[in-house]
Amino acid sequence: MDELWAGLLSALLAAALLCLVVAAIFLTTVDVSHRVGRRHPTRRRAPLWLTVLAVLLHGTGALLALSGWMQVSDTGVGLGKMVAGEVLMLGALLLQCGCASLYVEAGPEAFTRRGYFGGTRSVRYDDITSTREHSFHGNRTLTVTGRDGATLHAPIGMFDWAPYEAWQERRGGDARR
């Protein structure tokens, strides 16, 4: 009888711990996105649905790992579920990191893009030689190329053209787009 209660108690503690971890990841993501959005309102970030998808994948991975943990003593299937849940949670974490780090900013003098692993590229408005729009599997992407060969690739909705057009008007030219 004591063994039954010990198993039930450990299962409940594991479930509570997994729920706590998923809630902490979700609240951290919400907090970071709100703070970054307030500090840099000119930066366009990845869409919100990607963050929601990452949180849902975290929850699914946590439930899968928990169900595997409960079955690990009964069958060999539990170990596979645990590993699959952890891999799913790791993928969701990478997706959330990408949502937090990617941005395109249209400043007063240049377009700036920060990539997934932190590399930042800028193309000054003076140096833009071409803008090319293309579609890949239904995703519309824009490529901005500078004189020095620097290119920025991003979804077309992440570019804010108002600062570029204001810069063109200050110079007395037409905005090229």
* Structure confidence by residue, pLDDT tens digits, 124-171: 888 888 888 888 788 788 888 889 888 887 777 777 777 877 777 777
- Return the closest-CA partner of residue 151 out of 121, 175, 115: 121
Q: How confident is the model at residue 26 (pLDDT cuts 50, 70, 90)?
A: confident
Topology (CATH level 3) of domain 103-171: PH-domain like (2.30.29)
Q: What is the pTM of this model?
A: 0.61
- pLDDT score, position 28: 75
- pLDDT score, position 87: 92
- For the chain, the domains span 2-101, 103-171
Q: Where are the beta strands (DSSP E) in the chain?
A: 43-45, 103-106, 110-114, 120-124, 128-136, 139-146, 151-155
